[in-house]
Amino acid sequence: MLHNRQRRRALIAGAVTLATAALGIGLSTQFAGAQATTLRAAADAIGKDIGVAVDVNKLQSNTQYRNTIAAEFNSVTAENAMKWDATEPQDGNYTFSQADTLVNFAEDNGQSVHGHTFVWHAQTPSWVQGLNATAMRSAMVDHINTVANRYEGRVDSWDVVNEVVSDNNGAMRDSFWLRTMGEGYITTAFQTARAADPNADLYINDYSIEGDNAKSDTIYRLAQGLKSQNILDGVGFQSHLILGQVPSTMEANLQRFVDLGLKVRITELDIRLNTPADANELAQQAEDYRRVTEICAELADCSGITVWGLRDNDSWVPGTFPGTGAALLFNDDFSKKPAYTSTLNALGGGGTGEPTTTPATTDPATSTPPPGDGCTATLSVQSPWNTGATYSATVKANQALTGWRVTWTWPGSERISNAWSVTGTLTGATVTGANAAYNGTLAAGQSTTFGFNITKNDGSTASVPTVTCTPA
């Protein structure tokens, strides 16, 4: 069975060929050299995952949170919803509603899923922790089989074990797993996961292993053993980093795991600082994000980067490391931080990633529009997948405007599922959109953007209809 990621990549490759042959400039320029303006489009173009840890409650309650995750990321991970305490709170009593919501969302939006996590010392119910060795082994096997089987073909990769090494000079972590089952619990977990979903990539995941140190040496030893049994595919480097402290040995350290024939992945990236942040710190943070992203972008076997939360106020950091925070790519109001731009650039994307509101031209000859042609609007496909696509739309004012209207009709089964920076009647075959409260006023020559996702019922190339734009 093709996993989401493989399916998405195959379709993108197909869509590029078709688009350049048959379609208008929207889609072809996106892939023929124009720089991507979302993290997602930039990561798609270089075949990497750009992921985000998702809070499923916010996904259900906050439209802008949902839309931003759909538009900016091609991969998602459950911040908590796939952990043992969420999926099997009592022995044999499985609860998948939150995890299902996330996997359905990923499928609707053409995103891959990196699963987190089967075996961990934290967020595992006490009923597991009190079992004897035989019972604990069967609880683990049952748990992995049940969760991995449920999402087979829909979750692309799993953190099979999490944080199994301690911070004490590379010793194994003294967890209930180790105390009850011995070090073999790790092998059991990987063997079970491999058998349950042979096509999923299996990762060992940990923190403070980004640089070359005693802890990453232990992970290296474990990885060698698991790889030699063909039950490990990759190493996840959580990368909960501190401002200005990207390890100087990070690139070489990741490379030594690649040299074992493994993938590497940045699985939980955040870069914390002492709050409140000043402009210099945000600039340093942008440099740190750039460096980490470059390391992954330049390593063919780095599958991608997941940031551990969307906005600074979504992050676990302030609650865990008091006095620190501001660790992510988006501000609390969803505006983009300098680290967003540097990450976009390091993925090969262009500009600031800000919605383009270009300055009005100063040339009176070009700033006088033909009468009756108050604005023009164009659509372009940012990320196509089998049953949908993300679009970006640009509205350009040819005269000073205090509002605009756009309309077009889909030629086929395309329908808008969600949209941002635009209002109106959007979900039918004929779309009638209008400016949002904040992007209707444009000087002559200025432009603004909005975006949306569509669903469609087949694998055909996403259409780029002609848009009629009128002043309002």
Cβ contacts of 184 within 8 Å, gap of 6 or more: none
The smaller minimum CB distance to ligand XIL, of residues 314 and 414, is found at 314
From residue 301, how far is each of 67, 190, 238, 296, 349 by CA, in Å? 29, 21, 16, 8, 20
Candidate residues 162, 180, 303, 394; the one interacting with ligand XIL per rule CB under 6 A:
162
The smaller minimum CB distance to ligand XIL, of residues 80 and 455, is found at 80
**410 belongs to the binding site for ligand XIL (CB under 6 A):** no
# binding residues, ligand XIL (CB under 6 A):
6
Shortest distance, position 219 Cβ to ligand XIL, whole Å? 14
**238 belongs to the binding site for ligand XIL (CB under 6 A):** yes
**316 belongs to the binding site for ligand XIL (CB under 6 A):** yes
Shortest distance, position 238 Cβ to ligand XIL, whole Å? 6
Residue type, 437: A
Query: Site residues for ligand XIL, window 103-142 (CB under 6 A)?
Result: none
**From the centroid of its chain, how far is CA 263?**
18
Residue nearest to ligand XIL (CB): 316
The two three-digit tokens of residue 122, written as one number: 């934290």
**From the centroid of its chain, how far is CA 393?**
22
Task: Give me the half-sphere count of Cα atoms (radius 13 Å) on the Cβ side of residue 170.
Answer: 13
Shortest distance, position 119 Cβ to ligand XIL, whole Å? 12
Dist CA 376 CA 47 (whole Å) = 33
The smaller minimum CB distance to ligand XIL, of residues 116 and 396, is found at 116
The smaller minimum CB distance to ligand XIL, of residues 176 and 316, is found at 316
The interface mask with ligand XIL, positions 249-268, x = CB under 6 A, is: -------------------x
Cβ contacts of 314 within 8 Å, gap of 6 or more: 55, 58, 65, 328
What amino acid positions are annotated as catalytic residues? Answer: 163, 268
Candidate residues 35, 62, 80, 145; the one interacting with ligand XIL per rule CB under 6 A:
80
Dist CA 234 CA 158 (whole Å) = 10
Shortest distance, position 79 Cβ to ligand XIL, whole Å? 5
Cβ contacts of 228 within 8 Å, gap of 6 or more: none
Shortest distance, position 421 Cβ to ligand XIL, whole Å? 29
Candidate residues 79, 156, 197, 210; the one interacting with ligand XIL per rule CB under 6 A:
79
The smaller minimum CB distance to ligand XIL, of residues 79 and 312, is found at 79
Dist CA 319 CA 325 (whole Å) = 9
To which H or E segment does residue 468 belong? strand 468-471
The smaller minimum CB distance to ligand XIL, of residues 223 and 406, is found at 223
User: Helix or strand or coil: residue 260?
Assistant: coil
Dist CA 71 CA 53 (whole Å) = 15
Shortest distance, position 327 Cβ to ligand XIL, whole Å? 11
From residue 300, how far is each of 291, 304, 367 by CA, in Å? 16, 10, 47
The smaller minimum CB distance to ligand XIL, of residues 316 and 410, is found at 316
Residue type, 337: K
User: Helix or strand or coil: residue 233?
Assistant: coil
Query: Site residues for ligand XIL, window 276-315 (CB under 6 A)?
Result: none
Q: Positive or negative CA dihedral for 328, 306, 70, 106? A: negative
Shortest distance, position 264 Cβ to ligand XIL, whole Å? 16
Binding site for ligand XIL (CB under 6 A): 79-80, 162, 238, 268, 316
